[in-house]
Amino acid sequence: MLDVRSPETEALPGAAEMARWTRKDLLDTDTLSRDEIELILDTAEGMHEVRSRPVAKVATLRGVTVVTLFYEQSTRTRASFEVAAKALGADVVNLTASGSSVEKGESLIDTVRTLEAIGADILVMRHGKSGAPYLAARNTSAGVINGGDGTHAHPTQALLDLFTMHRHAGDLAGKRVVIVGDVLHSRVARSNIWTLLASGADVTLCGPATLLPRTLGSGAEGSRCTVTTNFDEAIRDADIVMALRMQKERQEKGLIPSLREYIAGYQVNARRLAMARPGALVMHPGPMNEGIEIAPDVAHGVTSVIEEQVSNGVSVRMAILYLMATARHA
Amino acid sequence: MTAPYLGPDEIARTVRRLGHEIVENNRGTANLVLIGLLSRGYPLARRLAAAIREFEGVEVPVGSLDIGLYRDDVTRRSAPPPIRPSDIPVSIDGQTVVLVDDVLFTGRSIRAALDALLDFGRPARVRLAVLIDRGHREVPIRPDFVGKNIPTALVQDVRVSLAETDGEDSVHVFGEEAAHA
């Protein structure tokens, strides 16, 4: 008898039950389960395919209003959310602190309630004060996405970083990831630690002692990270190297002796990258200070995925907007 | 577990017949593209292509289509559909596209699939092949190629399992006693 069963019997998706998204808000990565993280990454793969089409737009979130509320400057995060929302057919309203009633002294809670009354379904919020999006989320029935709060969290950046790592390095279990720079003040680093640990990666935090968090070494999460001031040691055999932006005001506050010393000790450059695993990925959340935390030839080198991080950010934010807009809250 | 409505051999025979019907209707394999809906339409489309290769000696392109973003009930469902990448490996412009799915029920999935398909190009014609037609259409969609018509009550559930997605080949009808056609 002619056998017309599938020639290859590889497993196809479909049978397995996928995790469900039930959260109203996305405020940080610390409370995300491994299943929820996988749901976001899987959904982002589908969104990535949509973005590769000649007409990269669907109408799924027609009638959904996304408001970006930015109390701090941003280029890529705000633009990325706007592109993501529009690619899904949602309407987007962009608000910045300057030019809005915030300048007249309107409180955060009043602003959020006003936006809800106008019809905002999802608020994407960036704020200079750690925890501000939590306050907003408690005072509105709209979904709140933290687009970066103070030195606390930047969950969508961590998720796009994880998506980018997965696409290049596959399963991260046992992979060595080094995050180098001003870890202490970095919301990107904090949110990345949680997703990386949930993925089973081996995380090393590296920087000058004055820019490393003190509690990480002993806390529950900290005990699973290696913390070191010796970058030449830390980068050895690393699979992924993530440089953080060096803010110039850190020098003014006396946290580093000079930029020159910082560069000497912690710049990601070709000499150090040669000590990492061959083909080790180079990442940076942007915006970069080329020549300070990262050398230009490395930033634009063959294993740099920095531009891809920006592009992947749109796919990941589409996934998050889709999951939040279609969620049934518990 | 009740006895399956169809077993592996019956499914294989049905797929083979559908392959013949598709080629006959198309007067050959020219400009033919098989596109299966995810999850279970895609393995069926690959089996159809394998059958056509056996008796025509021609490799017909096969693609997969995810309709999650095109459903009319995305924000109304208790569980939003999973989103997966579609894979349409060839241009569908001017081609004869045969959409392939496991069960035709309300027709809403096919309505969504037509929307999704047209985002990839403009086929000359679109046909519909399904393994099972269980009736109860809610939109004006009709299949061109049907494996088995199974008259069902609305309370019943038709479950197609395929080796690629579920580990075995079977068609089950759950709920009230199935009217064995």
Contact check, Cβ <8 Å, B54/A4:
yes
Cβ-based contacts of A36 with chain B (< 8 Å)? none
> What is the residue type of B82?
P
Mean pLDDT, to the nearest integer, of A240-255? 89
Q: Is B20 on the interface with A (CB under 8 A)?
A: no
Is residue B72 pLDDT above 50, yes or no? yes
Contact check, Cβ <8 Å, B83/A55:
no
CB of A100 within 8 A of CB of A94?
A: no
Confidence label for A248 from pLDDT (cuts 50, 70 and 90): confident
Question: Residue B181's pLDDT is what?
Answer: 47
Q: What is the pTM of this model?
A: 0.91
Q: Which residue has the higher pLDDT, A217 or A113?
A: A113
Over the stretch B23-70, which tens digit does the pLDDT of each residue have?
999 999 999 999 999 999 999 999 999 999 999 999 999 999 999 999
Q: Is A3 on the interface with B (CB under 8 A)?
A: yes
Question: Residue B1's pLDDT is what?
Answer: 60
Q: Which among B55, B70, B75 has the least Cβ separation from residue A58? A: B70
Q: Which among B50, B54, B120 has the least Cβ separation from residue A6? A: B50
CA distance B64 to B45: 8
Contact check, Cβ <8 Å, B75/A64:
yes
Which of B37, B40, B67, B69 would you mutate first to test chain A, the one with the most A CBs within 10 A? B69
Look over chain B and give the mean of its residue pLDDT values, rounded to a whole number. Answer: 94
State the ipTM, two decimals.
Answer: 0.87
Confidence label for B180 from pLDDT (cuts 50, 70 and 90): low
Cβ-based contacts of A9 with chain B (< 8 Å)? 163-164
Cβ-based contacts of A48 with chain B (< 8 Å)? 85
Q: Is B167 on the interface with A (CB under 8 A)?
A: yes
DSSP, res B177: P
Q: Is B56 on the interface with A (CB under 8 A)?
A: no
Over the stretch B109-155, which tens digit does the pLDDT of each residue have?
999 999 999 999 999 999 999 999 999 999 999 999 999 999 999 99
Count of beta carbons in the 10 Å neighbourhood of residue A175: 20
- DSSP secondary structure string for all residues of B119-176: TS---SEEEEEEEEE----SSS---SEEEEE----TT-EEEEE-HHHHSS-EEEEESS
CA of residue A115 relative to chain centroid, distance:
25
Question: Residue B33's pLDDT is what?
Answer: 98
Quickly tell me which residue has 């993925």 as its tokens: A199
Q: Is A60 on the interface with B (CB under 8 A)?
A: yes
Q: Which among B54, B83, B167 has the least Cβ separation from residue A322? A: B83
Confidence label for A21 from pLDDT (cuts 50, 70 and 90): very high
CA distance B129 to B18: 8
Q: Which among A12, A46, A327 has the least Cβ separation from residue B39? A: A12
- Nearest residue on chain B to A6, alpha-carbon basis: B47
Is residue A26 pLDDT above 60, yes or no? yes
3-state secondary structure of B57: coil
Nearest CA to B60 out of B96, B94, B6, B87 is that of: B96
Is residue A16 pLDDT above 50, yes or no? no
